[in-house]
Amino acid sequence: MPLRLHNTLTGRVEPFVPIDPARVTFYSCGPTVYDFAHIGNFRSFLAADVLRRWLESPLCRRVDASGRELPAPPPGGVGGYRVRHVMNITDVGHMVDDDDADGGGADKIEAASARLLEQKKSGRLPEGAGPEFDPRNPWHIADFYARAFVRDALTLGLKVVQDAQRDPALLPRPTAYIRPMLEMVLTLVERGHAYIAPDGVAYFDTRSFPAYGRLSGNTIEAIRSGAGGRVTEAAQSVKKHPADFMLWKPDPTHRMRWDPSKELGRPVPLKEGYPGWHLECSAMAQELLGEVIDLHSGGEDNIFP
């Protein structure tokens, strides 16, 4: 039978009609690797895996662009869709105060460094952290927990992780996509959808997008910040609107930081720093799946703002 899904944008259960009648593009939000994933984390990843398996199943009947069911394949033929499924592994940019659209708090991976340093002092580093593991190095931390996640995901049989053993691009990490993120920020600025504040932070200009808030049912007048949470007075003083959220944050002290001009090979009006988590998946999804995709799944925090 054809697939029917709850569409978060409309709030209704609707027939699923892909852009291409034979192929589905699917982006699902993966883990932020600052600790081991637990069963609650894996619920979201497993839900995406079940959905992907149904789409590929011969029992899933395909439909054309009008939503009309296509004829069943002949005996021995292959039913279902071909699915290109991408899931990110976030290794920078997720903050302890993720509900603060200004990028407040510490980076979760840098915050994990303090915890691991204390564990090292007491000889209690996690199993598998070899002698070369440096808890002061955020790259070591991200890679250690990313590998642990992949092992657990393979044990559970997540297809996207299995596929990534042959095609690593299916499990992208933001640190490998800094250039397209920077290009996206500059494109948004050029088109009037973002701006660089006096303190150097690049913000998305929510008032430039009339449909902002439609996904969650909020309105720009009703929300205090782009993530519906706390904002600082210092940040508010440089923003055009309280709802504007961070795309790029300059920070010369952050241990995972990039010089935009060096990354792009030309002078740009962005300072050394790191991306905001709202930007990361947008850039990676566009780079790997195109500007328009069929499905996006993840946790409730994706119903933004």
Tens digits of per-residue pLDDT, 201-223? 999 999 999 888 888 888 777 76
- Whether 67 and 21 have beta carbons less than 8 Å apart is answered as no
Mean pLDDT (the chain) is 87
| Residue type (1 letter), 141 | I
What is 212-248 written as a DSSP string? TTTTTT--TTT-SSTTSS---HHHHTT-SSTT-EEEE
Cα separation of 243 and 210, whole Å? 13
CA 151 to chain centre: 20
Say what the pLDDT of residue 93 is. 66
**pTM for the full model?**
0.88
Q: Which band of pLDDT confidence, cut at 50, 70 and 90, is reported for residue 235?
A: low
Is it the case that residue 162 has pLDDT exceeding 70?
A: yes
The larger pLDDT score, comparing residue 251 to residue 22, is at 251
Q: Which band of pLDDT confidence, cut at 50, 70 and 90, is reported for residue 128?
A: confident
The larger pLDDT score, comparing residue 72 to residue 298, is at 298
Say what the pLDDT of residue 229 is. 40
Q: Per residue in 5-21, pLDDT tens?
A: 999 999 999 989 999 88
Percent of the chain with pLDDT over 90: 58
Q: Per residue in 257-295, pLDDT tens?
A: 999 999 999 999 999 999 988 899 999 999 999 999 999
Q: Which helix (H) or strand (E) holds 161?
A: helix 159-164
Pick from 10-14, 113-117, 159-163, 224-228 the range whose average pLDDT is largest. 159-163
Across 192-209, average pLDDT: 95
Domains, in order of start, for the chain: 177-275 (3.40.50.620)
Q: Which of 24-38, 100-114, 290-304 has the lowest mean pLDDT?
A: 100-114
- Where does residue 33 rank: exposed (0-12), middle (13-18), buried (19+ CB within 10 A)? buried
Say what the pLDDT of residue 228 is. 37
Q: Per residue in 66-121, pLDDT tens?
A: 778 877 765 555 568 999 999 999 998 665 554 455 555 567 877 888 888 888 88
Say what the pLDDT of residue 233 is. 57
The larger pLDDT score, comparing residue 1 to residue 187, is at 187
Q: Per residue in 42-61, pLDDT tens?
A: 999 999 999 999 999 988 88
Say which residues have a Cβ less than 8 Å from residue 54's Cβ, sequence separation at least 6. 3, 60
